[in-house]
Structure 1
Amino acid sequence: MVGGDVRKLRNLVRLTMILIGASACLAASSAQAAKGVLHLKVVDSETKAPLSARMHLVNPRGNRQRIPGVPNLDDHFSFTGELHLELAPGRYTFEMETGPEYRTRSGYFELKSGDEDNTTLEMTRFVDMAADGWWSGDLFVQRGEIDIETLMLAEDLHVAVNHAWDNKQNAYEGKPVGDPLAIFGGDRAWWRLGGRDERAGGRMIFANVDAPLAVQSAKPEYPSTLSFVNELKSNARVHRAADATAWDLPLWIAQDAVDSVVIAGPELESKGGAAKPAPGSRPADRLLYRGAQGRARWAQQIYFHLLNCGIRIPPSAASGSGATSNPPGYNRVYVHLDGEFSYDAWWRELAAGRVMVTNGPMIRPFVENRLPGDVFTASAGESLEIEVALNLGTRDKIAYLEVLKNGQVEHEVRLDDLVKNQGRLPKIHFDESGWFLVRAVAEVPETYRFALTGPYYVQIGDQPRISKTSAQFFYDWVFERAAAIQLEAGDQRNEILEMHRESRDFWRDIFERANAP
């Protein structure tokens, strides 16, 4: 009897296993059948040419939908040309973008079990910056190399610096580097070996270096970022971009170690400001500069102080994609080139100040057939009256459009007046040296969305305009920074303090030469 019971039990186990296996197969088959498929194409509405795009897709449960096989980041993914979506049944909402020069598309679709549909989305371009000689770039992207070209196409980005190293890691450690420059599509290029040093003195971005810098072993205060700058002196191709709010900005400026100032950095995010400021950044007055908009205005104010000291240096931009949730090129700098696109020419003209920084509005300035970075001159005792005009394209409603002179609003222009005057703004008058630029700010409460042309300079007579207030601003900054240095007494502390003493002397000299309030 016992043996018979055992045989019955074994047969029962086999039957149970067969039923479980059959149930699993049926469940898998049912799950597969439950899905629907959408074949999605994205094209230009006018040319019908295929486009790459970034998509924000929300599933029926209200959650972001990740898609395998394409670059995903935070609440979005990017793809080239055509995408096959295999999804559970339900209603999906989406937002589609293909760079800031195209209108955003949004909508929804529904999939039923077993559906297989084909959809083509047309994207409408409202401005073509490259056609007018303006080429976009981003100085800080940190994404997988295999994805960079897809991401650049999806954001209509022409130049990118991919960061392979920083203070925590070096992605190329022990690996061959090869050619750091990758060019594709005829007018797009990216650098594999970008990186940054971001410590107690703030963030400095290094573009176009031939090998990663050994910043991983650096302590918060020692060695100075300037020691790494000095390693690169023989490489004329290198571009050094400093955060406007970096504590060591006055030191770096005094040592001629900065090629551009980042006024739209990774902390300026598409969905609002980052919870924390940039590493090593000088904090703003919380009453005067509140929230994400306040931090962005603080960076601009610091930059304006530099210009008011007679220092001619261009602004730049960095999205920090990968280190933040920003897509590549969310914060971007457009550089004007005469003739065809060239990677080296792009950097040369950036350094010359032929720029427009934006994370939204598109400004193409026309100032008496001159570009940002140009200098208007007159003899001592003469005056200048300069006619300013521009083309402005935008996806967001513009809150205000301004002409700034020496850091102050000279003219605020209503958009209907801009249209009525065919893009011409009121003339700007100069009796003495100075500078001016144009700024547009969009009405987007959760973040600061703006465009800013590079400055135009005015030189009347032999003397540049130097503001005593702005020189004092940086002179005081040097003392505040030196007092906060956290190094024990010894050679290292003495070395760092000596650099700041030299910086103090630099700004004191500028203060003593000041010729304006």
Structure 2
Amino acid sequence: MRREMRRSLLGAVGLVVFGTVQLAAHPHKPGSSPDGHHSQAARAPDESRRAAAFHLDFFTDIARRCPLACQPRLITQSVLEHRFVSGAPDAPTLERLVSQRNELLDTLRKKLPWLSASWSSDRLAWDAPPGTLEVTERRPRYVVVEICNVTERVLQASVDAGTPDARVAHEIAPGASIPFLVAIQPTADRAQISVHGEQETRALELPVERVVAATLRVQLIDGESKRPVAGRVTVEPSDGRLRYAGPFVENRTFLEKPIVQLAPMRMVAVPFFYADGSCEVEVPPGRVQVRFERGFEHASIDQAVEVAAGERRDVTLASESLLDAKRSGWISGDTHIHWVTNAWNVDLPLADLALVQRAEGLRVANNLTLLHRNPDDAFVKPSQAPMGPVLRYCDSEYHLEMGEEYRNQNLYGHLCFLNLQWLVLPIGTGPQIAGDDSLDYPVNKTAILEAREQGGISIEAHGTGNNHELPLNAVHGLTDSLDQIDPEDYYRLLDCGFQLPLTNGSDHPARVAGCARAYVHIEGEFDYEKWIDGIRCGRTFTTSGPLVFLDVDGQGPGSVIVPDPDKRSQVRVRAISRFPLGRVQIVSNGEVLEEVETQARDATLECPLPLDTSRWVVARCSRNDRWNAIWDADVAHTGAIYSHPEGKPVFKPEAARAWISRMQSHARDILTRGRFANASQRSEATRYVEESIRRYRRMIELHDQARLNDGFQDQKDRLLIQAGFASSRTHAPEFLAACEEATTIAELQKLVEPLTLLRIHINPESRVKISVGAALETVVQHRTARFLVEVHNEARVQSRLQLRAMDQAGTPAVPAEWCALRLVENLVSTSYLTGQEHEWKLVEFRCSEVGHREVHVEAEAGQGTQDLGFRALADFVVHGIPRSEARPLVQQASP
């Protein structure tokens, strides 16, 4: 009866913790995880919230000091307890919270020795004689001592076994009991457990038997080559507490990570360690469970062994490949690593990162430098190397690149700049980042443009958390990808016609490197420039475990399909995972087209693609009802494939209005919270918001308007938006002013002439003539560049314009394999001619070889027999250079 009473009180009540260890070191605070459950936690009874507060401390204390195989459950439950205590909108219901809490407590009773004692008015005694506790030499053993207060007064108590630094005081109500985690040292035959009340200390004795440890000598090999390889190792011995070894066993950055959903964050133990081919680990005698992992493309290998005291046992674990993603062109990478200690202000050796890459199966690691300055500290870290590749750790299998996280916390948001040649200064702006005396200037847009001029890409770093300028950057064509974004926000961007990929990064040291990553599809041999260009082109999926491959009629993420109404299109998804998949879904325009729920580890899902309307299509996989890979393990989400019947993208005015509302709030923040040196700086920030809102409103107005009815202002607005997606130069104030002042088509043609690659003239008889515009002299190998195509359509035809790049080296000419030329199909450009006499199209050009080559372009718009004066052919010469020679193309801006 007493045990049942205690369990009820422990599960539902608990009491306030007066002191606990709360460690956190993080220069910024990502948002909290979505949970999908709503409750009235803010109005929960005080006793229930006190119970949640206690269990938050109890579970995180175990997770930090005594890591167990159930570590993920401890962390998940801690987050739920925290949400309930704080009254978060996504807090669980009390019923769900208590149910999951009691399930976890039952698991802990099986994992740890769980002893109970009662504190009465005159004594402290065990409820039942405890057995002898085996403790391995040189290592403490953790037990849980549950103290029941059988007096009529509140008892304030703490418990230790000779380690007062671990002592935490708790209030125990009359008739209630709470557990304490206690470390028993292997120093004597009897351990004294001290229970400290307010006025006296009482002691319990626990018989102890010291035992000699066994030693496991673990070898990690590749299952095919039989060669030693690096990997993650988890060792769970007979006493339940995980053991650690390997090259980083003394480095706390590899042993602990924060629970970033908690505020303030708390450190907990990482449940594995890295080994470079082999390791030795001491364990108590008995059954030992060993696990070997090598990233997401290899099966998790588990082996159980029985060891005797003093035994030295050899264990060889061979990895098994699930899928060679690289062979299929899919390259994994972490977009957001800071290779520093948990304190953030000390570099870690890059050789260690190279080892972690191999252990995690992480092909690309982007090590981002950031600025952080506060009254206690100031640093620019990591700083192991200049921007660009760290060649010592780059080969045909792995790549380590220095990049930058450019941050403003107060107003604009955080950006990951990849593929840089030099740091974009000032690296960070505004309070909380660059110091309380720092200005929110220059605006982030300025930094994005400089990164673009270097050939870099800009990734929105933390979803929509503090990234208030994501919708602004998107409509100006300045967002290359999205990290850590919630699916609902991603879908809202897709509903505006934007074509944006998903990527992901761990934000190490906030999390383990590679825990969430992007897979990017490339053609041919592995090359970092190809990987970056794959992101530009949208060929990605993001994952914290499963590999999810989506295609429509053989076309993958980033592709735009103009479906044939007479042909049936098929959507296909294949999902592969080390663990049971859970739910696999095909989602289009916010609706689930097809799904399967399965415990299998390899599943295929197919369905026809409806052709009733324009669509975006994604695939996703999860073992729960959450779909963001940064917050949960074993979640994957692909970038989108786009179906544009007659060249029309998805556009939902209500989605655009939602972003307008967000931008209006952002404008108010700039006026009320922004820190600027003068009115001109503030005006620059607000003008960017105002112009972005104007563009969204014009998109809504132009959405249903027939293009044949476009007036000059409509044409000018379309061109202005198109030009922003073509070149960073079009964001310069001089260009914007000239565009605003233009009153004729001729003035617009002259303004965008430097961006115009080709001119198409369709005469009244519908015959096509093509000529070269601006000279395309030098391009960077594997880097997609965008230009404009000017169309003068005297015949007002509305057919589809087609361009082909041909190679004249042979006879007859054949499609060029060394370059790609395609008209862009997106919200601002389509291959379909609108019937307007004057319009512009976006075109992409990509060169895969170096040297001088001649491009032969053919154009077709449904024309008939050509007159001699109308030649639907044009030639131009390009000079392809490798990335390593691209530096002289751009001059570094002055600080």
CA distance in 1 between partners of 2:428 and 2:224 (Å)? 53
1:258 and 2:439 correspond: no
Q: Alpha carbons of 1:256 and 1:232: their partners in 2 closer, same or farther (altered >3 Å)?
A: same
Contact 1:335–1:350 (CA under 8 A) maintained in structure 2: yes
Matches for 1:70-469 after TM superposition, within 5 Å: 70=248, 72-74=254-256, 75=270, 76-85=272-281, 87=282, 89-90=284-285, 93-106=289-302, 114-143=310-339, 144=348, 145-168=350-373, 169-171=379-381, 177=386, 180-182=389-391, 183-200=393-410, 201-215=412-426, 218-220=429-431, 221-245=440-464, 246-263=467-484, 299-322=486-509, 324-326=510-512, 328-378=513-563, 382=565, 385-415=568-598, 423=604, 425-443=606-624, 447=632, 449-469=634-654
Contact 1:36–1:111 (CA under 8 A) maintained in structure 2: yes
Q: Alpha carbons of 1:394 and 1:444: their partners in 2 closer, same or farther (altered >3 Å)?
A: farther
The alpha carbon displacement at 1:109 in A equals 5.1
1:477 and 2:662 correspond: yes
Contact 2:405–2:427 (CA under 8 A) maintained in structure 1: no
Q: Alpha carbons of 1:35 and 1:454: their partners in 2 closer, same or farther (altered >3 Å)?
A: same
Q: Deviations over 1:432-471 (max 9, x none)?
A: 3221122222249993632222211111124322101111
Q: Deviations over 1:338-376 (max 9, x none)?
A: 222111111111211111211122122343221211111
Q: Alpha carbons of 1:318 and 1:417: their partners in 2 closer, same or farther (altered >3 Å)?
A: closer
CA distance in 2 between partners of 1:179 and 1:417 (Å)? 41
Contact 2:539–2:556 (CA under 8 A) maintained in structure 1: yes
The alpha carbon displacement at 1:212 in A equals 3.1
The alpha carbon displacement at 1:112 in A equals 5.5
Alpha-carbon RMSD across the aligned residues, in angstroms, is: 3.2
Query: Who wins on radius of gyration, i.e. which is larger?
Result: 2
SS in 2 for 1:148: helix
Alignment match, 2:245: 67
Which shifted more, 153-162 or 485-494?
Answer: 485-494
The alpha carbon displacement at 1:417 in A equals 12
Q: Which amino acid aligns with 1:227?
A: T
Q: Could you tell me which runs of 5 or more consecutive residues in structure 2 were left unpaired when the two chains were aligned.
A: 1-186, 188-210, 257-269, 340-347, 374-378, 432-439, 706-895
TM-score (norm 1): 0.77
The alpha carbon displacement at 1:234 in A equals 1.9
Contact 1:180–1:210 (CA under 8 A) maintained in structure 2: no
Contact 2:367–2:403 (CA under 8 A) maintained in structure 1: yes
Q: Deviations over 1:452-506 (max 9, x none)?
A: 2221111112432210111111111101222233126842333322221112112
Contact 1:42–1:121 (CA under 8 A) maintained in structure 2: yes
Q: Alpha carbons of 1:210 and 1:393: their partners in 2 closer, same or farther (altered >3 Å)?
A: same
Contact 2:540–2:639 (CA under 8 A) maintained in structure 1: yes
The alpha carbon displacement at 1:48 in A equals 2.5
Contact 1:244–1:300 (CA under 8 A) maintained in structure 2: no
Alignment match, 2:232: 54
CA distance in 1 between partners of 2:290 and 2:319 (Å)? 14
SS in 2 for 1:425: strand
Residue 682 (structure 2) aligned to one of 480, 487, 493: 493
CA distance in 2 between partners of 1:494 and 1:351 (Å)? 31
SS in 2 for 1:232: helix
Q: Deviations over 1:207-236 (max 9, x none)?
A: 122233444662144332222223324211
Q: Deviations over 1:22-46 (max 9, x none)?
A: xxxxx9xxxxx96654321112334
Q: Alpha carbons of 1:247 and 1:61: their partners in 2 closer, same or farther (altered >3 Å)?
A: farther
Q: Which amino acid aligns with 2:230?
A: S
CA distance in 2 between partners of 1:503 and 1:449 (Å)? 37
Q: Give the number of the structure with larger relative contact order, counting CA–CA contacts within 8 Å between residues 6 or more apart.
A: 1
Q: Which amino acid aligns with 2:233?
A: M
Q: Which amino acid aligns with 1:135?
A: I
SS in 1 for 2:478: coil
Q: Deviations over 1:160-183 (max 9, x none)?
A: 10123244531366x873863335
Contact 2:406–2:417 (CA under 8 A) maintained in structure 1: yes
Q: Which amino acid aligns with 1:333?
A: A
SS in 2 for 1:160: strand
TM-score (norm 2): 0.46
CA distance in 2 between partners of 1:121 and 1:418 (Å)? 21
Contact 2:230–2:276 (CA under 8 A) maintained in structure 1: yes
Contact 2:246–2:274 (CA under 8 A) maintained in structure 1: no
Percent identity between the two aligned chains: 22
SS in 2 for 1:423: strand
Q: Deviations over 1:7-30 (max 9, x none)?
A: xxxxxxxxxxxxxxxxxxxx9xxx
Which shifted more, 187-196 or 102-111?
Answer: 102-111
Q: Could you tell me which runs of 5 or more consecutive residues in structure 1 were left unpaired when the two chains were aligned.
A: 1-26, 28-32, 265-298
Q: Deviations over 1:130-172 (max 9, x none)?
A: 2222111110122222211110001111111012324453136
